[in-house]
Structure formats: C-alpha cells, structure tokens
Structure 1
Amino acid sequence: MRIASWNVNSLNVRLPHLEQWLAGFAPDVVGLQETKLEDHKFPDTRLLELGYRSVFAGQKTYNGVALLSRSPIEDVRIGIPGFEDAQMRAIAGTVGGVRIINLYVVNGQDVGTDKYAYKLRWLEAVHAWVEEELGRYPELVVMGDFNIAPDARDVHDPAVWNEDHILTSSAERGALEGLLRLGLHDGFRLHSDEAGVFSWWDYRAAGFRRDLGLRIDLTLVSEALRPRVVAAGIDREPRTWERPSDHAPAWVQLG
C-alpha cells in the first residue's frame, strides 16, 4: 500500500496537477491539505472517474483536508475530538485495516504570537487524539503538512532555522517528539539519514531553484506498521511543474 500526503495549496488551481500526479505516481491512499474549497465544490465526481473515492472537509479560501483512496474509506472522522475549531485541519479514515489521520497543522506565524499559542494547543489536542486512536487501531499512519521540521537535517540552514524560529522552535519540535514517544516513527527516517531532502520551498527568492527548503511534510507510522515500511520519500517532480504548489508529496510504502 502506497500512502502519500500532499499540501496542494488550492485544489481549484492544482486539480490538473493532482490528476497528472495520480496517473503517474499511482498512490493507493492520498491525504490532501489546503484544498481551500467548500465541500459543494470538491471534485469528488472527477476523482471517482480517476479511480479514487474521497472524503473531505473544506472551507472557502483557507485550510481544507481530504482523503482519497482506491479502496473504501471507513469510520471517517472530521476534526479533532473534543477540540472546538472552526478551521478544517484534520480528517481520519480507515483503509484496508490501516487507520489514517491526515493533518494540516497550524503554521503558527511567529514564536510568541497568539497563532503560535493556538498551534501548541492544537498539537496538544492531536497528541491526545493519536494516543486514543493507537489504542483502537495499532496499525496507524499520521501524515500531513506538520509545519514542523524535525531536526537540523531537515532545514537548508540550521543557523537560521533554530530553536527560536517558527517551524523549528523548541516547543514545536517538542510537540512532534511527543507524538513519536507515543510509538510513532518518521517513515522517511526509517530508511534514510540523508540531510537536505525537503518537501517545501518558498515561492520567494527562487527558493526551489536554490533548494532552500524544509522537510515539514511527514508520514508517521505506528510500531505495528514499522516492519511493513519498505520505502519512503519525497516526490519532487510536481514542484517543477508550471504554477506548482510550494509543497511536494511525501509518501511511504507498506509491504
């Protein structure tokens, strides 16, 4: 089972890219973030023509998440249980016995801001949810745009992206490490210690051409799934296309 995560940064703009990528990369399950579409505008009919069922939770202009799958998606959950939030940032479903949580983690703006505090509260709620889900579903994947680069290998300049910077601050990385301590593993790091492999590049300052990126799109797998992870990576190709998302898909392959 090939499971992928992609922040498409507007499905209205990037639907042709998604169609091209689904045809070429052929994932079994995809989590999308930043669809930026109200539900009545979601292209579920078109995706079904391409062989993918879909469940989704969107809103106008901002946020929005979806799960696409070649197989039925069961036990769908929208939003974080017990956490009131008007922003559509979380969706979960079960495919072939594997529980999948797809997240669009809060950016946080800057360390010390109200949005940063909201990000940390949001991550606390995710931690409690994931802990509960692991009790029900030992085979669990938590994926998405985490807006957190795990360590110095995952940023183009560790001197800039340090413990005081948004996306790499001590508290954000601590929240991510808390998820890993629940029994999750960074799928990419199960097969690679390589530094400089990124999933996001700023549109500004020729970020992609200069490879000034971060790895903030993650596929985390539970201990029960760890032996089944045969490969993982980032597909850079869609970032080379015309009018691309600023993110590239992250993926993990289960045997």
Structure 2
Amino acid sequence: MRIATFNCNSVRSRLDAVLRWLADNAPDILCLQETKAQDAEFPADAFRMAGWQVAFKGEKSYNGVAIVSKKPADEVSFGLDSEPADPARLAHARFGKLHVVNTYVPQGREIDHAMYAYKLEWFARLKKYFEKNFTPATPLLWCGDLNVARHPIDVTHPETKTDHVCYHQAVRDAFEGVLSFGFTDLFRKHNPDLADYSFYDYRAPFNPEQKRGWRIDYVLATKPLAKKSIASSIDILPRTRPKPSDHCPLYADLKD
C-alpha cells in the first residue's frame, strides 16, 4: 500500500499536476492540503473521470483538505471535536480497519502573532482528538502539511530558524506532544540521515542540486502500521515542472 501527502497549493491551479502524479505513482491514498476551493468549485468530476474516489472540504481562497483514494471510504468526517472545528483543516476517512487523518496545521505567521498561539493550541486540540477517537493500537495514519520541522536535519541552516513559527522550540514541543500518542515518522524511519525537503519557498530560486528547504510534510503511523512500512521518499520532480506547488509529494510504502 502506498500512502502519500501533497500540499498542492490550489487544486484547481495544480489539477493537471496532481492527476499526473496520481497516474505516474498510483498511490492507494493521497492526502491533499491547501486545496483553496469551496466545495461547489472542487474539481471532483476530474478525479472521478480519472478513476479516483475523492472526499473533500474547503473554503474560499484558503485552507482545504481532500482524501483521494482508489477505493471509496467506508466513513468520512471533517474537523476537530471542539470549536472552532476547522473542517477545512482536518479530514478523516476509514477504509475497513484503516483510519487516515489528513491535516493542514495553521502556519502561525509570526511568533508574537495570535495565529501562532492558535497553532500551538491546535496541536493540543489535535492530541485530544486522537486520544478521544483512537488508541495507539488503532491502524492509523496521520498525514499532511504539519508546518513544523521536527529536527535540525529537517530544515536548511536551522541555526537561523530558531524564531521561525515552523521551527521555534514551542511548536516543536507541541508537535512532540502529539507524536507521543504513538506515532512514528515513516520518512525518518527509513532515511535517518537524509537531509531532504518537502517545501521550497517560491521566494528563493529553486535548485534541485543545492536543496534549500524544509521538511514540514509527514506520513506518520501508529505501531501496527509503522512495523509494516518498507520505504518512504519525497518526490521532487513535480517541483521542477512549470507552475509547481511550493511543496513536493511525500509518500510511504507499507506491506499489505
């Protein structure tokens, strides 16, 4: 089974790129973030005509999550358990015994901004969501753009990023708090020493030979699935093509 995550930065603007990636890589499940489309404007028919099932929740111009799959989900829900639920930031789908949670975590803007405090609170609420709805023994995948670099290896020049909302110690601690539920970072499990990135800022020239970016996108698994994982990688190819997202797809392969 292949599970993937991709912040597409507008599903309508990047529709051809997303469909191409699906055709080339054939994941069983693809989690999308920042779809930036209200539900009535989401290009669901294009996915279905290409043979994919899709569940989505969006809003105008911002946020938005979708779960694309080969098979239809048995159950789908959106949002956290507490208010504000933020349904355009969290999607949950069940496929038999397998649960997939797709999140687009708030970025936070600046350390002294109210959105950064909201981001820290969001992680705390997310941990409560996992604790209420699942156990560490649940076959659960948590995927998405989590807007945090966990370790120094996950960002270029980490010593210059200590006051950044995606690397500040408080947000890293908040992330660790959710991971303590029982999640394993599948990319790092299989690539313990690889400085590879899933996000490359549009504001800096992109050079695939001199990678300067962040790994803020994840596929995380509870123990029943982590022990079945056999590989994980970041696909930089879509970032090299015209009109790319600033993120790259990240995927993990698991034994069925």
TM-score when scaled to structure 2? 0.95
Match of 1:101 in 2: 101
Match of 2:51 in 1: 51
Pair 1:86–1:158, CA change in 2 (3 A): closer
Question: 2:145 and 2:27 mapped to 1: Cα distance?
Answer: 18
How many residues get paired?
A: 254
Match of 1:165 in 2: 164
Following superposition, the deviation at residue 51 of structure 1 comes to: 1.6
Question: 1:37 and 1:120 mapped to 2: Cα distance?
Answer: 26
Match of 1:83 in 2: 83
Q: Which residues in structure 2 correspond to 1:1-255 (within 5 Å)?
A: 1-85=1-85, 88-135=88-135, 138-162=138-162, 164-209=163-208, 210-255=210-255
For the residue of structure 1 that corresponds to 2:20, the secondary structure is: helix
- The question of whether the paired residues in 1 share the 8 Å contact of 2:76 and 2:94 is answered with yes
**What's the CA shift string for 1:111-157, capped at 9, x where partnerless?**
12101011111111111111223229710000100000010000111
Pair 1:53–1:108, CA change in 2 (3 A): same
- The question of whether the paired residues in 2 share the 8 Å contact of 1:154 and 1:197 is answered with yes
**What's the CA shift string for 1:209-249, capped at 9, x where partnerless?**
54210000011100111111011111111111100000001
| Corresponding letter in the other structure for 1:30 | L
| Corresponding letter in the other structure for 2:62 | Y
Pair 1:208–1:149, CA change in 2 (3 A): farther
RMSD of Structure 2 on Structure 1 (CA) = 1.5
| Corresponding letter in the other structure for 1:42 | F
| Corresponding letter in the other structure for 2:216 | I
| Corresponding letter in the other structure for 1:191 | H
Pair 1:240–1:185, CA change in 2 (3 A): same
Question: 1:56 and 1:137 mapped to 2: Cα distance?
Answer: 27
- The question of whether the paired residues in 2 share the 8 Å contact of 1:67 and 1:102 is answered with yes
Following superposition, the deviation at residue 89 of structure 1 comes to: 0.6
- The question of whether the paired residues in 2 share the 8 Å contact of 1:142 and 1:221 is answered with yes
Pair 1:233–1:46, CA change in 2 (3 A): same
Sequence identity (%): 37
For the residue of structure 2 that corresponds to 1:21, the secondary structure is: helix
Question: 1:128 and 1:232 mapped to 2: Cα distance?
Answer: 27
- The question of whether the paired residues in 2 share the 8 Å contact of 1:7 and 1:144 is answered with yes
**What's the CA shift string for 1:26-70, capped at 9, x where partnerless?**
111010000001101111111112121111000111110000110
Question: Gapped runs of 5+ residues in structure 1?
Answer: none
Following superposition, the deviation at residue 87 of structure 1 comes to: 6.3
- The question of whether the paired residues in 2 share the 8 Å contact of 1:63 and 1:87 is answered with no
For the residue of structure 2 that corresponds to 1:55, the secondary structure is: strand
For the residue of structure 2 that corresponds to 1:72, the secondary structure is: coil
Pair 1:115–1:87, CA change in 2 (3 A): farther
Question: 2:115 and 2:207 mapped to 1: Cα distance?
Answer: 27
Question: Gapped runs of 5+ residues in structure 2?
Answer: none
- The question of whether the paired residues in 2 share the 8 Å contact of 1:71 and 1:96 is answered with no
| Corresponding letter in the other structure for 1:73 | A
